[in-house]
C-alpha cells in the first residue's frame, strides 16, 4: 500500500466523514495544481502554494520543524489547555503543540482540500491524528465551519482556550471560501491577546503610553456601589427605541455607556456616570471627540485602548488591566492589582466593571448581540444584506434572528459572568436581540416603575 492508501484507510476507520469527502473531491484532483511538495534545505518536506498571482511557502523552505517550534513557542500560553488551530498543512505546528503536556485538546481546521490531499501523500496522518487530544476538521463550506466551531465553543471553557492562526494556511483558503477567510481575520482582530501578530505592537504602544497618563486604576472603585442598580448602555439597534425612556430613570442609578453611543446619549440629555472604551484603534476617537471638554465624565479605559483618547481626556481616567495580555498582567502583578476578564468587547468590559463595582441589579440596554432589524448599530445606517457569514439564534420572543461568531462569543462570555455571579440580578431590555441565558427579559418601562 502507498502512504496515501494507508492514510485513506486510517481516515475511513477514524474519520469517516472526512474520508467520504476526500473520495468525493478526489475526482477533481487532476484539475488541482496550486500546491507542490518540495524538499526544504534541511531535508524536510514543505509545501509551495500558488494563489493565482504569487508563489509562497506554507512552511519554511529552510527548516519547517524549527519554524514550527518557534511559531508554537510564540503562541503557547502556560496552563491554557484548549487550542483551536486554523490551518493544518503538513502538521508541523500541530506536532509541536502536542509536545506540551498541559495541552488537553487541540481542534484543528483545514480549509484547503488540495493541501490536505498533498498531506495524505506526504506524511503519516495517523501519527498526528491518533493522539486522543486531536480533533480534526476538513471544512468544505461556511455552514459546516459554523456548526463545528459552535459545537467546540459550547464545550470548552471560555477562559481556558486560545486560537492559533497559521497565517500562510489562512491565506491559502480558496476563493470560494473567502467568507471563511474574512471571518478568521475578524476573529484575529477580536482576539484579546493579540500576542505575536501585527496588532501586538499597536497594543503595546497604547499600553506603554496609557500607564503614563492615566489617573487611577479601576480597582479603586471595586465594591464602591454595592447593591446600587447599574444600567449598561451598549450600541445595539434596540437602543434607539429605549433612549427616550432612559431619561426617566432615577438619578442614583449608575449609568455606564460604551464609547460608540456616548455622543448620542449626550445629545438626548443623558449624561452617563462612566464611559467605557476598549478599542485600540484611532477610529474610536471619533466617538469621543470634545466630550471631556464639555462634560465631567470619568473614563473607564482598557489598558490597551487607543492612547489618543486617554491622552486627551480631561476628566478622571480609570485604567482596567485585562487578563491574557502579558504586559497588563505583569503591570497588575507588580502593583498588586486584580486583572479583569474583559472578554474582547467594550460591552463585556462594561459588564465586568459593573460587577466589580458591586452593582445589583445590572440592567442591559442596547445589548442586542445580534443584528436586530437587520441593523448593525443604533443610530447608524449600516444594515445587513448578506447572511452567508451569519449564524442563526433566537430572541426572547422565540423568533429567529441573525448574529455572527464574534457577537456570539461575547454573548457566551457574558453568560459565563452571569453564571459566576448568581447573587446579582441581570435584566435585559433588548427583547428582540439575542437571548442571553441567565437574564430576566423586561421592558424598560417596567423597570422604571420598579426602581
Q: Within a 10 A sphere around the Cβ of 95, how many other Cβ atoms? A: 17
Residue 150 confidence (pLDDT): 87
Determine the Cα–Cα distance for residues 112 and 118; give it in Å rounded to an integer.
10
* Mean pLDDT calculated for residue range 370-378: 83
Residue 344 confidence (pLDDT): 77
Determine the Cα angle at 281 with ends 294 and 109, to 5°.
145
Task: Give the global pTM.
Answer: 0.67
Is pLDDT larger for residue 191 or for residue 200? 200
Tell me if 254 sits within 8 A of 359, measured CB to CB: yes
Is pLDDT larger for residue 387 or for residue 330? 330
* Mean pLDDT calculated for residue range 287-294: 87
Residue 196 confidence (pLDDT): 43
Instruction: Judge whether residue 374 has pLDDT over 90.
Output: no
**Percentage of the chain lying above the pLDDT 90 cut:** 59
Determine the Cα–Cα distance for residues 19 and 6; give it in Å rounded to an integer.
12
Q: Within a 10 A sphere around the Cβ of 137, how many other Cβ atoms? A: 21
Residue 160 confidence (pLDDT): 85
Residue 192 confidence (pLDDT): 45
Determine the Cα–Cα distance for residues 202 and 198; give it in Å rounded to an integer.
8
44-97 tens-digit pLDDT:
999 999 988 889 999 999 999 999 999 999 899 888 999 999 999 999 999 999
Residue 195 confidence (pLDDT): 47
259-285 tens-digit pLDDT:
999 998 899 899 999 999 999 988 888
**Mean of pLDDT over the chain:** 89
pLDDT-derived band of residue 121, with 50, 70 and 90 as boundaries?
very high
Amino acid at each position: 500500500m502507498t502512504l496515501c492508501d494507508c492514510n485513506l484507510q486510517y481516515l475511513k476507520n477514524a474519520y469517516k466523514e472526512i474520508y467520504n469527502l476526500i473520495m468525493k473531491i478526489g475526482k477533481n484532483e487532476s484539475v488541482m495544481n496550486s500546491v507542490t511538495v518540495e524538499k526544504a534545505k534541511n531535508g524536510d518536506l514543505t509545501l509551495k502554494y500558488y494563489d493565482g498571482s504569487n508563489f509562497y511557502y506554507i512552511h519554511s523552505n529552510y527548516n519547517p520543524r524549527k519554524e514550527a517550534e518557534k511559531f508554537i513557542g510564540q503562541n503557547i500560553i502556560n496552563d491554557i489547555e484548549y487550542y483551536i488551530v486554523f490551518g493544518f498543512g503538513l502538521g508541523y505546528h500541530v506536532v509541536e503543540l502536542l509536545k506540551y503536556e498541559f495541552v488537553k485538546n487541540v481542534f484543528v481546521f483545514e480549509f484547503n482540500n488540495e493541501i490536505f490531499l498533498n498531506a495524505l501523500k506526504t506524511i503519516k496522518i495517523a501519527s498526528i491524528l491518533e493522539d486522543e487530544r486531536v480533533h480534526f476538521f476538513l471544512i468544505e463550506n461556511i455552514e459546516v465551519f459554523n456548526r463545528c466551531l459552535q459545537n467546540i465553543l459550547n464545550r470548552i471553557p471560555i477562559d481556558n482556550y486560545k486560537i492559533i492562526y497559521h497565517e500562510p494556511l489562512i491565506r491559502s483558503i480558496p476563493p470560494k471560501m473567502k467568507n471563511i477567510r474574512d471571518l478568521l481575520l475578524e476573529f484575529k482582530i477580536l482576539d484579546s491577546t493579540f500576542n505575536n501578530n501585527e496588532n501586538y505592537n499597536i497594543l503595546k504602544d497604547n499600553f506603554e503610553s496609557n500607564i503614563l497618563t492615566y489617573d487611577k486604576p479601576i480597582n479603586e472603585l471595586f465594591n464602591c456601589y454595592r447593591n446600587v442598580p447599574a444600567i449598561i448602555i451598549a450600541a445595539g439597534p434596540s437602543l434607539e427605541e429605549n433612549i427616550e425612556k432612559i431619561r426617566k430613570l432615577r438619578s442614583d442609578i449608575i449609568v455606564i455607556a460604551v464609547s460608540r453611543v456616548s455622543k448620542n446619549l449626550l445629545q438626548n440629555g443623558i449624561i452617563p456616570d462612566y464611559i467605557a472604551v476598549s478599542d485600540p484603534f484611532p477610529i474610536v476617537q471619533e466617538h469621543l471627540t470634545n466630550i471631556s471638554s464639555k462634560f465631567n465624565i470619568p473614563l473607564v479605559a482598557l489598558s490597551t485602548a487607543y492612547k489618543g483618547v486617554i491622552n486627551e481626556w480631561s476628566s478622571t481616567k480609570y485604567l482596567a488591566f485585562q487578563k491574557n495580555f502579558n504586559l497588563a498582567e505583569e503591570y497588575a502583578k507588580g502593583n498588586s492589582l486584580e486583572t479583569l476578564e474583559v472578554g474582547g468587547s467594550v460591552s463585556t468590559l462594561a459588564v465586568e466593571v459593573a460587577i466589580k463595582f458591586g452593582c445589583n441589579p445590572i440592567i442591559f440596554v442596547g445589548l442586542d448581540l445580534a443584528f436586530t432589524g437587520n441593523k448593525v448599530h443604533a443610530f447608524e445606517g449600516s444594515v445587513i444584506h448578506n447572511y452567508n457569514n451569519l449564524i442563526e439564534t433566537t430572541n426572547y420572543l422565540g423568533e429567529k434572528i441573525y448574529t455572527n461568531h464574534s457577537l456570539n462569543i461575547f454573548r457566551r462570555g457574558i453568560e459565563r459572568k452571569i453564571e459566576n455571579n448568581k447573587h446579582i440580578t441581570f435584566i435585559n431590555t433588548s427583547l428582540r436581540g439575542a437571548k442571553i441565558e441567565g437574564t430576566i427579559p423586561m421592558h424598560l418601562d417596567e423597570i422604571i416603575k420598579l426602581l
